[in-house]
Amino acid sequence: MLVAAAVCPCPPLLVPEVASGAAPELDAVRAACADALGVLAAARPDRLLVVGPAGEEGLGTFPEGSRGSFRGFGVEVGVQLGRAGGSAPELPPSLAVAAWLLERVGWADAPVEGLGVREPLAAERCIEVGKEIAAGPDRVAMLVMGDASACRTLKAPGYLDERAEPFDAAVARALGAGDLSALKALDAGLAYELKASGRAPWQVLAGAAEGAGLSGTLLHESAPYGVGYLVAAWS
């Protein structure tokens, strides 16, 4: 049973050591993410599942204790998902950012696991995965990582695309309202063209939230560097 969810962006720039001199520019995003994680803690879940974009096909699971780092971004910062030790696959960047956010707030409220969702995964499969997550008797909270479009300005990673701003606005409305139908209806092809890495994780959330009766609150919306960053909390 899904009892709460937080939606956060996943740029490695959220880690101040990666952002370096630009770190203060994302302080508002970091603060909103911390607020969203507070909603998860208040729900007192039995376990926390972190879902984020990862690679090109299928699904990947990451048990508690999985480690990641930001060495690929030029800094020696390591992270761990939850507190348990042990060997496990290295976390993809989106889940490494999630682990950093959880460490930042001192998460110790429930065991943590990770699920990497590959970019092209069809909406129907994402929704099915979400339903499977919520089907058990445990009180599950979800931390859902993913960016909106990366095509908001000429200097954005995907250059300027006039479809990006309305796409992001529609996602922001859906996340803020807890609108499951709108999230399920997101166009996977358009999301891919706009480099919106959050599409599949958001649709996993939509599947998991069916029948949960959660209401949403949009905590932050911005587009620094031409990339849409959205933070929301569902409870």
Q: What would the pLDDT profile of 10-63 be if each residue is shown by its tens digit?
A: 999 999 999 887 778 899 999 999 999 999 999 999 999 999 999 765 689 999
CB atoms within 10 A of CB 172: 18
Quote the tokens at residue 50: 């972190």
Question: Domain 2-234 belongs to what architecture?
Answer: 3-Layer(aba) Sandwich (3.40)
Q: Which pLDDT score, from 0 to 100, does residue 94 have? A: 97
The DSSP output letter for 152 is S
Q: What's residue 219's pLDDT? A: 98
Confidence bin at 195 (pLDDT 50/70/90): very high
What is residue 5's predicted lDDT score, i.e. its pLDDT? 98
SS3 24: helix
Q: Which residue has the tokens 């969810």?
A: 5
Query: What average pLDDT does this structure show over 136-155?
Result: 96
pLDDT, position 210: 97
Q: What per-residue confidence (pLDDT) applies to 19?
A: 87
Q: pTM for the whole thing? A: 0.96
**Closest among 204, 4, 218 to 94, alpha carbons compared:** 204
Nearest to 215 by CA among 186, 184, 169, 180: 180
pLDDT at 86 over 70: no
Percentage with pLDDT > 90 across the chain: 87
* Alpha carbon distance 102, 125 (integer Å): 27
Confidence of residue 87 (pLDDT cuts 50, 70, 90): low
214/220 Cα distance (integer angstroms):
19
**Cα–Cα distance between 122 and 105 in angstroms, integer?**
33
Please tell me the predicted confidence (pLDDT) of residue 28. Answer: 96
The count of other CB atoms within 10 Å of the CB of residue 22 is 12
Q: What is the pLDDT of residue 24?
A: 86
Mean pLDDT (the chain, rounded): 94
Instruction: Tokens for 95, please give them.
Output: 């889940």
**What's the pLDDT at 89?**
78
What b/e string do you get for 135-149 counting C-beta neighbours within 10 Å, with b at 16 or more? eeebebbbbbbbbbb
The pLDDT of residue 22 is 73
pLDDT in tens, 99-133: 999 999 999 989 999 999 998 899 999 999 999 99
